[in-house]
Structure 1
């Protein structure tokens, strides 16, 4: 489980860095919030998938497979949890820093749940 959380924190940091970089690049755009969240989510999802399949669960699942479908489906659910935290913090506190803190909390909650779900349903032994 320790390796999983190390990989999760790596993906979390990659996600937040991508979001912050996107925020800086698209600061004057009306859709900056959604662009930066989308970019962070895609970068974080990709890094998490690679780390989970190769290093955590040592699986050879492909994205186009039953396991890949379940992995993606559970990731979408967890993404919804993290969006709620991030957007809530962003709207309540109206700052990029607090929005990223909300994302940090949401991703932590989501990754904890996702580990249990992946272990039980996706990467069953």
Structure 2
């Protein structure tokens, strides 16, 4: 239960970092980088980096061998995030198509996020934060 609570708390923290980074980007980025698309990318990267660092240390208690190993882990962690984001988007879009109602679309999104985060945890545990045999 402790892991699930921490994992959810870290997801909220990463989301807050994402949104704050987007707002800061739009306020301070020089032209022509002051676009919504660029801010979304900046926010996504910032949130992803925070979530990775927190998950690595507090959820999986994982210590990479070196900076190159840490970089490979981050790329694999990001790939797992892409896969599970598709689950989230798919659920939200499916509920939009089926119900044509904002509340139901958001409900689908929340359900998709829950399923996506649960899947991401298991994918990260199995494929990302794996101790190599000595």
Q: In the alignment, which residue of structure 2 is the partner of 1:55? A: 58
Structure 1 unaligned segments of length 5 or more: list them: 19-34
Structure 2 distance, partners of 1:6, 1:48, is: 14
Structure 1 distance, partners of 2:93, 2:70, is: 31
Contact 2:52/2:74, CA 8 A, preserved across alignment: no
Q: In the alignment, which residue of structure 2 is the partner of 1:102? A: 108
Higher relative contact order (CA 8 A, sep 6+): 1
Q: In the alignment, which residue of structure 1 is the partner of 2:2? A: 3
Contact 1:75/1:114, CA 8 A, preserved across alignment: yes
Cα distance, 1:44 vs structure 2: 6.1
Q: Name the TM-score, length of structure 2 as normaliser.
A: 0.59
Structure 2 distance, partners of 1:44, 1:90, is: 26
* CA shift in 2, pair 1:58/1:99, >3 Å: same
Q: In the alignment, which residue of structure 1 is the partner of 2:76? A: 70
Structure 2 distance, partners of 1:8, 1:89, is: 26
Residues paired across the two proteins, number: 105
The list of structure 1 runs, each at least 4 consecutive aligned residues, that deviate by more than 4 angstroms after superposition, is 12-15, 43-47, 60-64
Structure 2 unaligned segments of length 5 or more: list them: 20-36
Q: Name the TM-score, length of structure 1 as normaliser.
A: 0.62
* CA shift in 2, pair 1:59/1:89, >3 Å: same
